[in-house]
Structure 1
Amino acid sequence: MFAMAPATHGLLGRILSANDDASRRFGKNTAEVDAFIDAVAHLTPWQWRQVLTARRLVSTVTKEETGASSQSLEAIQAAIRSTDGRLSDPMSKAGEALIGALEKRSDDKVATAWQALSALVMRQHHSALKFAAHYAPFIALVPVSGFDALDPATMRYLKAVEALTREKCEVLARRWRLDPDASRALLQVVAKSRYLKGEEAAALLALRTIPTHLTGDLGWAAVRTVVHGGRVLGARSELSKEQIAVLWIPLEPAIPFDSLEEHVPKPVRARVRAAVARATTAITKPPTSRADSTPAPAKRTSPPKLAATYGPNSLEVAAFIKGVVELTPIQWLRVLDRRKLVASVTRQDAEPAGVVRSLLAAIKGTKDLDTFTRCRAFAAVERAAGTVSAKAQLTHEESMQGYGAFGDIVQLDYVDVGGFAHLVAALNKGDWVKVAESVPAVNEDVVAPLVNTGGALYGFLEGRPDEEAVAAWQAASALVRRQHLAPIKFAASYAPFASAIPVTNPRSLGAPVLRYVSAIGRLSANQCALLAQPWQMADEVSSALSKAVADGGARTAEEAAALAAVVTVPMRVKGSQGWAAAKTAAFGGRVIGSRSRLSLEQLEVLWRPIEAAIPLASLGAATKSRRLTL
């Protein structure tokens, strides 16, 4: 057994000690303090105005001075650099870092940041209310850790606090007194914990909500009652139902405890099936017009056609929603394998999971708003999420322009796309209205079907892994926008699901097209290499094909060929060669689908790029072509 040399052991010890010191230079919350200093150093002037406004609001109930009596920059610096021991070493180091980061900021900004920073350093030692009183101005822009792990009942309580009206705040401000036994039980539970996250979250939210309705002593009393509610919820696992009922008496008239209980919803599959059934009924069975009550014969008119829930392809989208919920684990494995195959030739990076989660969170968060507002909010989230995911390639000005209203609501410079999804999920109704108003106009006919599709899917996709959620959303959105996508683009997005949930009816394809699609499915590596060879068409022949497909009659055949190609070709060749072969195969579908509007000579010329791999004679299509008359 070898022993470590003393010198080496000493060096390693010093390195480990230095690393440990660095990780605790600001105390136990070093990571949060470090992140806070970095975040406040990059706040925009607009965000600083939000912070100072929030501080003034908080002071209307805490009665802390925010004007001339606030600590000046010189006073803060003197306290930090003092050697009389008034400040702990972590506090002094944190203060020095903050002063360095905000050296060009005004005194009121530095004082506000210093209060929040000192509360953050001493977070475990402060009461929830004291911490919140100092940190509340920054909570919307620089969130603190711990609130993402709150239980559902506490989250519902926080939403209820956020929705408080003046009347309810006045109810909460009434004087109250607890039963001694229940109060003693609560204090015993609280004494076992360093701090309760629910109580802290309630305090922060109360100080941001209640001052807009009540100020002074009444506002402070209402805040304390809300904080008491957070404490009860945080300790309820160790309290009896009777004790909770007694402790909740001060809040019951404003926030009934029953409203926080979780009501078991219908299973996801049942809810999705019900939504699909309603949509299908609305699409396939529009209401019939009532007969005219007058005896004179009236002109018969067709019943008005209802707007399709999921757009022009509502039936296919509804079938997809119903089918994707019922996929088995084996089918999901096949879907994901096919998705990887398709990606090997398309060379397109998968849409980040955070973008998809952000869109689904936006759809869920705006479900109580009108359709036009939802569409605008969806468009804003789509743009902002794309900007966040690509901000490494953008300048700061380009990023801020892409963030839109989100840049004013939260600090996004240090948030990745996954974190952005969590921020989107936490927005309230007022935030959504502000976000929607930042988007001037959207085409509701285009965006609404996507929003409705997401509304039917988000309950299911919330519980699926990111890879499955992204694949399903890409396929669903491609199906909604099917008419607006080139067949090869549609196939690239939908091909993973083409076998499990078919969207092409074989009966709509002629025999030559079916033979061609079947031939694509049997392609060998040599045949794919032949299809991948470069080719070019004469202008007059290309013009003839363009006229033949102008009415969209060949689209179904081209889509079927593209779907078969993007699944089969990657199993033979990959990369740019595979993509070239797939596009040539899709082109063949366009040609064979428009054969009845082409002359035999035109058909033969257009088929030359495919002829070496799939001879035209093998499809029996020549007899279907139109011969030009001389």
Structure 2
Amino acid sequence: MAPASQGLLGRIQRANDVASQRFGPHTAEVEAFIVAVGQLTPWQWRQVQTTRRLVGSVTKDAAAVSDSARSIQAAIRTSDGRISEPMARAGEVLFDTLAKKSEEKQVAAWHAMTAVIMRSHLPALKFAVHYAPFATLIPLSGSDVLDPRTRRFISLLEGLSKEQLSVLARRWHLEAGTSRTLLQAVAKHRHAEREEAVAVAALSFIPHHLVGDEGWAAVRTAVHGGRVLGALDDLSPRETNQLWSPLEATIPLFSLDVDESATPAAETRPATRVSAPKAPAAYGSNHAEVAAFIRGVADLSPIQWLRVLDRRKLVASVTREHAVEPTGVVRSILIALDATRDLDTYARCRIFAAVHHNGLAGASGGEEQDLAQAQRVAVLDRPYWLRLAESAPETNVEAVAPMVNAGTALVDFFGGRSDDEAVATWHAVSALVHRHQLTPIKFAAAYAPFASAIPVTNPRALGAMVSRYVTAVGRLGASQCAALAKPWQISDELSNALSKAVADGGARAGEEAAALAAVVTVPMRLATGGGWAAVKTAAFGGRVIAVRTRLSVAQLEGLWEPIQAAIPLSSLAPPARSRR
């Protein structure tokens, strides 16, 4: 593979890694939890609060009681390191999602979410204390694939009477050697799904019968049973019997043996099939957004198209670059894609690159010559395209194929659109395909005409403070835009601090959103020169505010000076909650 290809794939992989680790190693679970908790009904919230009170009746954890939504949000906004960056980032999204919920609900969700973020580092019982209120409504990953013994143990545990649970609450002691053996066996397993599942079940059931220290002791004994079951494969029969002794009188170990032959057919797992490796996404690393754009652009109404073209003119009035691909070049590319549909991808990529390069090389002769060039391309026959595919220089197929596929998907659509509409659409889809290789402001300049009709940024994912900043950029007045257009400079020390803070790409979403708002708003307010400077300053503000938790207060204030006159930093603070 060519070095350039390796570099591209490396950048794509790094961008994907950053996105997949936004909230830490359990980002997918955290995102799923935030979405699900935002959709809970009032009845489900009552279940959560009831279970939380039950859990509180046996636990000794005072942290959950002392925390308030206001103190948590204050800790999120500070940069003193008390809350990790992934947790602060997730907290902003969570509190934004639950902005209209009561403080009790917000705090309960916060503790559950932080438990998911720290899942790999928390003891199973401590994790369950925070997550148990939501466990039945938002099941944990892995809770549906428990082994038969653990499922049987949980079932028997939930059928115990108060007297039997009191037996579990009795004090017990293991020999040091036996306890050490269990710890060594547990350490061999990276995950503790069985122990977590038992802990959640115990905390949800036992407080109905036992509370206080007695209930907590019974819960701990039950969780000990889950730990033993999780390490069963690494224990000898003698060690297992010794470790199970605290539970033997209530739930005999032999009662957990399940006859696999009697298991219903519905519970038997089919033989594992080795799936074939997935083919590369047709539109590259940003496949989903490109596909959504291709579907959405075909459904735009005439009014929306007028707005798109109007915004394109606004953006063009402040950008310093002429169209990277003029009308003639775009039409030539589309003609080539249409004429070579039946060729293989490798040949089409070489043709695409050659037409693109030749079109740009001859695009300086004015619009009439560009269109004349497109007309000449239109009359070329199949033998010519075959010769061009053979004679064209080597092309990085992995880099070019997404644009070839996207262009092919839009060829028929382009046939019925005006030149302005075709060029605007081509620039937008090209920006989406190459989104992770473009700077945020370049992406915004190309995609802004479609940003409101086919959004590509999720306001909830930005966090509350970044969203407030983007809203403020969209409401800028003429005097504020003029303030942003003034020349400014920051010290090397602040520049280095910012570079370090944005090194992992965490500021990109905020900077993109700010730039998308600025390239449309600024031209409407600033009739004179300086529009591009104002746009760049507004985008810079998005970069700074997105990584504010990684900066000290002095660094944040110093970096915010170019924006302070237009959008004071204090104006981005959350509004005070009214007391009822």
Contact preservation (8 Å) 1:354, 1:420: yes
Please state how far the C-alpha of 1:471 moved relative to its aligned partner: 0.7
Q: Deviations over 1:501-550 (max 9, x none)?
A: 10101121100000000000110100001111111111121111111111
Contact preservation (8 Å) 1:346, 1:575: no
Q: Deviations over 1:568-593 (max 9, x none)?
A: 00001146401000000000001111
The match for 1:337 is 310
The match for 1:39 is none
Change (3 A) 1:297 1:349: closer
Distance 2:351 2:523 in 1: 38
The match for 2:289 is 316
Distance 1:390 1:615 in 2: 44
Equivalent residue letter for 1:569: V
The match for 1:148 is none
Equivalent residue letter for 2:435: R
Distance 2:383 2:501 in 1: 52
Q: 2:428 aligns with which of 458, 471, 475?
A: 475
Superposition pairs for residues 528-607 of structure 1, below 5 Å?
A: 528-574=481-527, 576-607=529-560
Superposition pairs for residues 133-212 of structure 1, below 5 Å?
A: none
Distance 1:306 1:620 in 2: 46
Distance 2:286 2:445 in 1: 18
The match for 1:349 is 322
Superposition pairs for residues 35-184 of structure 1, below 5 Å?
A: none
Q: 2:476 aligns with which of 484, 508, 523?
A: 523
Equivalent residue letter for 2:284: G
SS in 2 for 1:416: helix
Change (3 A) 1:415 1:436: farther
Q: 1:370 aligns with which of 344, 350, 360?
A: 344
Change (3 A) 1:301 1:523: farther
Is 1:379 aligned with 2:332? no
Q: Deviations over 1:247-280 (max 9, x none)?
A: xxxxxxxxxxxxxxxxxxxxxxxxxxxxxxxxxx
Distance 2:500 2:272 in 1: 39
The match for 1:127 is none
Distance 2:272 2:504 in 1: 33
Contact preservation (8 Å) 1:345, 1:575: no
Please state how far the C-alpha of 1:388 moved relative to its aligned partner: 2.1
Contact preservation (8 Å) 1:491, 1:566: yes
Change (3 A) 1:598 1:325: same
Distance 2:293 2:270 in 1: 44
Distance 2:437 2:271 in 1: 40
Distance 2:275 2:492 in 1: 45
Q: Deviations over 1:165-185 (max 9, x none)?
A: xxxxxxxxxxxxxxxxxxxxx
Please state how far the C-alpha of 1:620 moved relative to its aligned partner: 2.3
Distance 2:400 2:382 in 1: 20
Q: 2:280 aligns with which of 293, 303, 307?
A: 307
Distance 1:585 1:296 in 2: 55
Contact preservation (8 Å) 1:361, 1:425: yes
Please state how far the C-alpha of 1:438 moved relative to its aligned partner: 2.9
Distance 1:304 1:592 in 2: 40
The match for 2:396 is 443
Change (3 A) 1:448 1:609: same
Equivalent residue letter for 1:436: A
Distance 1:444 1:575 in 2: 44
SS in 2 for 1:535: coil
TM-score by length of 2: 0.51
Q: Deviations over 1:31-75 (max 9, x none)?
A: xxxxxxxxxxxxxxxxxxxxxxxxxxxxxxxxxxxxxxxxxxxxx
Is 1:360 aligned with 2:334? yes
Q: Deviations over 1:94-125 (max 9, x none)?
A: xxxxxxxxxxxxxxxxxxxxxxxxxxxxxxxx
SS in 1 for 2:530: helix
Change (3 A) 1:296 1:478: closer
TM-score by length of 1: 0.47
Q: 2:369 aligns with which of 410, 416, 419?
A: 416
Distance 2:368 2:559 in 1: 52
The match for 2:183 is none
Change (3 A) 1:357 1:541: same
Change (3 A) 1:302 1:558: farther
Distance 1:296 1:510 in 2: 41
Unaligned runs of 5+ in 2: 1-267, 575-580
Distance 1:383 1:575 in 2: 35
Contact preservation (8 Å) 1:561, 1:585: yes
The match for 1:461 is 414
Please state how far the C-alpha of 1:377 moved relative to its aligned partner: 0.5
The match for 1:132 is none
Please state how far the C-alpha of 1:346 moved relative to its aligned partner: 0.6
Distance 2:516 2:316 in 1: 13
Larger radius of gyration: 1
Please state how far the C-alpha of 1:304 moved relative to its aligned partner: 2.9
Distance 2:560 2:320 in 1: 27
Contact preservation (8 Å) 1:375, 1:442: yes
Equivalent residue letter for 2:341: K
Equivalent residue letter for 2:362: V
Q: 2:380 aligns with which of 400, 404, 427?
A: 427
Change (3 A) 1:554 1:297: same
Distance 1:550 1:302 in 2: 36
Query: Of the two structures, which has the highest relative contact order with CA contacts closer than 8 Å and spacing of 6 or more?
Result: 2
Distance 1:374 1:584 in 2: 41
Report sequence identity in percent. 64
Contact preservation (8 Å) 1:347, 1:575: no
Equivalent residue letter for 1:319: A
RMSD across aligned C-alpha pairs, in angstroms?
Answer: 2.4
Superposition pairs for residues 269-288 of structure 1, below 5 Å?
A: none
Unaligned runs of 5+ in 1: 1-294, 393-413, 622-630
Distance 2:299 2:461 in 1: 26
The match for 2:445 is 492
Equivalent residue letter for 2:535: A
Distance 2:271 2:547 in 1: 44
Distance 1:327 1:607 in 2: 38
Equivalent residue letter for 2:351: A
Please state how far the C-alpha of 1:424 moved relative to its aligned partner: 1.6
Distance 2:565 2:486 in 1: 11
Contact preservation (8 Å) 1:344, 1:574: no
Q: 2:561 aligns with which of 598, 608, 618?
A: 608
Distance 2:556 2:280 in 1: 40
Select between 416-425 and 354-363 the one with higher mean Cα deviation. 416-425
Q: Deviations over 1:221-263 (max 9, x none)?
A: xxxxxxxxxxxxxxxxxxxxxxxxxxxxxxxxxxxxxxxxxxx
